[in-house]
């Protein structure tokens, strides 16, 4: 399959032909592409907004009717879900997004089948591991809230990962209407169940996770059945596709793993030092920050294939311009969001919590600055991926992880959750600085040995053997997030 990528002329699907046509650079062509980009971006924001509202409504319901302790437990459960999502994004969905555009329709169908099988293997492993862990915790008389988290997420993780897989199948083809439909249906099913449970008086962390499981699993399974004709299983294509994804994903898995530890370990530090109530307040601040995530994540979903096209069309020079425009856009968006949170922070917290908590507004303001500074690393990160230096991202993420966790352990005893917020801010500043410095250094070094198109002429400047453009293409982990931007509890 890797040889097929190297020799095949990119065969774009009908759903994204409009993004690759009229590429002669004329003013009319550029204007048409900007209009298409605005339409695609608008649908992406709407899709992410629907997903964000669903998550926010679930968190706010628990926070207002169950209290900060249950909200903290629910947030801790989500860290396990997001960890599994980051693994799937690194090894399956991000490579799929970027390799898929190079295949014929027949090969795309078999590639979807390969990714589906890999998803089933990952989801099954996660489910069995969590079930075994839950049984062990129950037998050793662990805290009830911890047993509830592990056993509940054992069922939520497979459903959540399946929803993310089918979304990325649609987003890889720029089929944002399908992605929007999936998000809307999940929202309707999940929130309807949650309201029904609330009205019946049975709302708890376990029943809230039940609504997440049914909403994500039912809709995703139905969509997969409806789209079954677009998925085939090919034994001859399976292992080459797995090896190709691994070549791209092993660097991302390292980077995602380090970043996920940094983000998802913070709530566990809080619960270990301050209890579930403080963790709930910290989660409430994160829920407010989710208001920015639909825009940021939607832009990321467009930027990821966008940087792939930039590299294919113009090499290093086009990627550099793309990174600059992306960074300026992020600066403008995050500046506006920081201003809104500073002015309306107290009111926004009351949306999630039923009462004002001392120090919560200050913590929210610091976490907002932390999120804004960390998001500025997205541009250089895209650039490093385009220049085939995903390994550099691992070092930057590792540095950010060390700074965040060290500062959190040092400051939490004195300043509480405010000290943890300061630690996250220090980590965000470190990440942006390290990623920007690394991108500029790599771009400068490659400019000394690039060809006329601006692409590196094989090999790296340090003599190490790295994947070539035939086996690796630029990617951006969906910080859930990611990961995922929209699923980030700690920042």
CB 20 within 8 A of CB 11: no
Which pair of structure tokens corresponds to residue 170?
A: 């649609």
Find how far residue 121's CA is from the centre of its chain. Answer: 20
pTM over 0.75: yes
Which pLDDT score, from 0 to 100, does residue 87 have? Answer: 92
Which pLDDT score, from 0 to 100, does residue 141 have? Answer: 92
Mean pLDDT of the region 107-113: 89
In this structure, the number of other CB atoms found within 10 A of the CB of residue 306 comes to 21
Tokens 């898995």 belong to which residue?
253
Q: Please indicate, yes or no, if residue 457 is contained in any of the structural domains.
A: no
CB 119 within 8 A of CB 92: yes
Q: In sequence order, what are the beta bridge partners of 451?
A: none
Mean pLDDT of the region 410-419: 94
Is a pLDDT exceeding 90 seen at residue 157? yes
Is a pLDDT exceeding 80 seen at residue 390? no
Q: Please indicate, yes or no, if residue 20 is contained in any of the structural domains.
A: no
Which pLDDT score, from 0 to 100, does residue 490 have? Answer: 27
Residues 287 and 329: their CA atoms lie apart, in Å, by 23
Helices within 360-389 (DSSP H only): 360-375, 378-386
Give 172's contacts (C-beta < 8 A, 6+ positions apart). 96, 97, 100, 101, 305
Q: Please indicate, yes or no, if residue 3 is contained in any of the structural domains.
A: no
Residues 11 and 484: their CA atoms lie apart, in Å, by 29
Give 461's contacts (C-beta < 8 A, 6+ positions apart). 442, 445, 446, 448, 449
Q: Please indicate, yes or no, if residue 151 is contained in any of the structural domains.
A: yes
Mean pLDDT of the region 270-296: 87
Q: What is the pLDDT of residues 337-355, one digit of tens each?
A: 899 888 888 888 888 887 8
Work out the pLDDT band at 357, boundaries 50, 70, 90: confident
Nearest residue to 470 (alpha-carbon basis) of 478, 482, 458: 458
Give 268's contacts (C-beta < 8 A, 6+ positions apart). 76, 79
Instruction: Tell me which DSSP letter residue 449 carries.
Output: S
Average pLDDT, the chain: 80
Is a pLDDT exceeding 70 seen at residue 7? no
Q: Which helix (H) or strand (E) holds 318?
A: helix 293-352
Which pLDDT score, from 0 to 100, does residue 474 have? Answer: 32
Give 13's contacts (C-beta < 8 A, 6+ positions apart). 101, 105, 108, 173
Which pLDDT score, from 0 to 100, does residue 23 have? Answer: 43
Q: Which residue has the higher pLDDT, 356 or 60?
A: 60
Which pLDDT score, from 0 to 100, does residue 38 have? Answer: 59
Domain tally, the chain: 1
Q: In sequence order, what are the beta bridge partners of 450?
A: 456
The CA-CA-CA angle for residues 409, 287, 359, to 5°, reads 55
Q: Please indicate, yes or no, if residue 17 is contained in any of the structural domains.
A: no
In this structure, the number of other CB atoms found within 10 A of the CB of residue 441 comes to 13
CB 432 within 8 A of CB 393: no
- Average the pLDDT over each of 60-74, 149-163, 250-264 and give the range with the smallest value: 250-264
Is a pLDDT exceeding 70 seen at residue 471? no
Q: Which residue has the higher pLDDT, 36 or 463?
A: 36
- Average the pLDDT over each of 15-29, 92-106, 226-240 and give the range with the smallest value: 15-29
Is a pLDDT exceeding 80 seen at residue 420? yes
Nearest residue to 44 (alpha-carbon basis) of 221, 183, 224: 183
Which pLDDT score, from 0 to 100, does residue 72 have? Answer: 95
Is a pLDDT exceeding 60 seen at residue 122? yes
Which pLDDT score, from 0 to 100, does residue 20 have? Answer: 44
Mean pLDDT of the region 215-219: 96
Work out the pLDDT band at 298, boundaries 50, 70, 90: low
User: Which domain covers residue 86, as residue numbers?
Assistant: 35-448+465-487
Q: Please indicate, yes or no, if residue 6 is contained in any of the structural domains.
A: no
Residues 379 and 436: their CA atoms lie apart, in Å, by 8
Residues 240 and 111: their CA atoms lie apart, in Å, by 10
Work out the pLDDT band at 386, boundaries 50, 70, 90: confident
In this structure, the number of other CB atoms found within 10 A of the CB of residue 431 comes to 29
Which pLDDT score, from 0 to 100, does residue 70 have? Answer: 95
Q: Please indicate, yes or no, if residue 12 is contained in any of the structural domains.
A: no
The DSSP line for 8-73 is SPP---GGGGGGTSS-S--HHHHHHHHHHHHHHHHHHHHHHHHHHHHHHHHHHHHHHHH-HHHHHH
Is a pLDDT exceeding 50 seen at residue 89? yes
3-state SS, one letter per residue, for 80-120: HHHHHHHHHHHHHHHHHHHHHHHCCHHHHHHHHHHHHHHHH
Q: Please indicate, yes or no, if residue 426 is contained in any of the structural domains.
A: yes
Which pair of structure tokens corresponds to residue 482?
A: 């990611």
Tokens 């592990």 belong to which residue?
150
Positive/negative CA dihedral, 402, 403, 409, 412: negative
Q: In sequence order, what are the beta bridge partners of 484?
A: 479
The DSSP line for 256-313 is HHHHHHHHHHHHHHHHHHH-HHHHHHHHHHHHHHTTTHHHHHHHHHHHHHHHHHHHHH
């Amino acid at each position: 399959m890797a040889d097929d990528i190297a020799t095949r002329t990119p065969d774009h699907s009908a759903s994204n032909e409009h993004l690759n046509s009229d590429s002669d650079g004329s003013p009319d062509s550029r204007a048409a592409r900007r209009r298409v980009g605005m339409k695609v971006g608008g649908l992406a924001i709407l899709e992410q907004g629907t997903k964000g509202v669903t998550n926010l409504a679930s968190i706010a319901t628990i926070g207002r009717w169950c209290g900060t302790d249950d909200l903290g437990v629910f947030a801790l459960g989500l860290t396990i879900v997001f960890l599994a999502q980051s693994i799937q994004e690194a090894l399956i969905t991000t490579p799929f997004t970027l390799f898929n555009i190079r295949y014929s329709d027949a090969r795309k169908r078999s590639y979807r089948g390969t990714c589906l099988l890999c998803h089933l293997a990952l989801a099954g492993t996660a489910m069995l591991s969590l079930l075994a862990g839950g049984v062990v915790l129950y037998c050793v008389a662990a805290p009830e809230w911890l047993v509830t988290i592990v056993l509940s997420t054992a069922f939520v993780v497979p459903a959540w990962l399946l929803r993310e897989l089918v979304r990325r199948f649609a987003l890889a083809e720029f089929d944002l209407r399908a992605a929007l439909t999936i998000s809307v249906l999940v929202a309707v099913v999940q929130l309807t169940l949650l309201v029904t449970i609330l009205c019946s008086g049975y709302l708890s962390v376990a029943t809230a996770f039940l609504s997440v499981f049914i909403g994500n699993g039912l809709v995703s399974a139905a969509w997969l059945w409806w789209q079954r004709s677009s998925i085939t299983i090919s034994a001859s294509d399976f292992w080459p596709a797995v090896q190709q994804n691994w070549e791209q994903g092993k660097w991302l898995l390292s980077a995602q793993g380090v970043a996920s530890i940094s983000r998802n370990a913070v709530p566990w530090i809080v619960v270990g030092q301050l209890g579930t109530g403080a963790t709930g307040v910290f989660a409430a601040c994160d829920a407010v920050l989710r208001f920015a995530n639909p825009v940021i994540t939607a832009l990321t979903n467009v930027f990821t294939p966008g940087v792939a096209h930039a590299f294919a069309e113009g090499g290093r020079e086009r990627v550099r311009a793309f990174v600059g425009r992306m960074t300026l856009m992020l600066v403008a968006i995050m500046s506006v969001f920081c201003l809104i949170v500073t002015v309306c922070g107290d009111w926004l917290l009351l949306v999630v919590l039923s009462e004002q908590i001392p120090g919560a507004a200050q913590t929210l303001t610091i976490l907002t600055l932390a999120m804004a500074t960390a998001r500025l690393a997205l541009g250089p990160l895209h650039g490093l991926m385009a220049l085939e230096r995903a390994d550099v991202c691992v070092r930057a993420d590792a540095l950010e992880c060390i700074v965040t966790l060290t500062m959190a352990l040092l400051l939490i005893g004195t300043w509480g959750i405010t000290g943890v917020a300061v630690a996250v801010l220090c980590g965000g500043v470190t990440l942006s600085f390290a990623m920007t410095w690394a991108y500029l250094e790599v771009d400068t070094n490659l400019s000394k040995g690039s060809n006329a198109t601006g692409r590196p002429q094989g090999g790296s400047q340090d003599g190490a053997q790295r994947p070539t453009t035939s086996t690796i293409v630029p990617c951006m982990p969906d910080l859930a997030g990611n990961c995922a931007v929209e699923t980030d509890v700690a920042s």
